[in-house]
Amino acid sequence: MRITKAKLRATLRRVLKESIHSEMDLVIKNIIFYACQEAASFMRNFQQNIVFEEINAMTDADMIKLADYGPSDEDTSQRDEYLVSSVRMIAGDKNELKRVLFELVDSGDLNFNPGRGFSLA
């Protein structure tokens, strides 16, 4: 089976795009986990709204500093804007924030007790 150059290029673009989004998802999840750690620093069990408040208390510069992309020679301003807007959008949508929090529960980073809320694992 032969693959055309156009089809190969399209496949490579799709794989690269998925890889970039996967990396960005991980960075966003890490920022939300940091907000959970901040919430847990003054309250053993915390609710989703406390995580929302912690995220809202972060400045754009705080979020960008937490995002460890590694060394880069390229202009990162567009990526940084996308990151900050994504984190703020997820925090502002209760269902999306809940989804990420439960992904952190599934990965073993957080615990969830229905009567008490979330806590660090």
Read off the pLDDT of residues 5-35 as tens digits, 9 standing for 90 and up: 777 677 766 766 665 566 788 889 999 999 9
Distance of alpha carbon 45 from alpha carbon 40, whole angstroms: 7
Could you read off the pLDDT of 42-100 as tens digits, one per residue? 889 999 999 999 999 999 999 998 887 665 656 678 888 888 999 999 999 999 999 99
Burial 22-60 (b: 16+ CB within 10 A, else e): eebeebbbebbbbbbebbbeeeebbebebbbebbeebee
Residue 110 is predicted with a pLDDT of: 95
Mean of the pLDDT values across residues 36-43?
A: 93
CA-based nearest residue to 116, from 52, 54, 40: 40
Residue 52 is predicted with a pLDDT of: 95
Residue 74 is predicted with a pLDDT of: 67
Residue 2 is predicted with a pLDDT of: 80
Residue 21 is predicted with a pLDDT of: 60
Return the domain boundaries, the chain.
5-120
Residue 70 is predicted with a pLDDT of: 60
pTM of the model: 0.78
CA neighbours closer than 13 Å in the CB half-sphere of residue 52: 13
- The residues pairing with 117 across neighbouring beta strands, listed in sequence order, are 113
Mean of the pLDDT values across residues 101-106?
A: 95
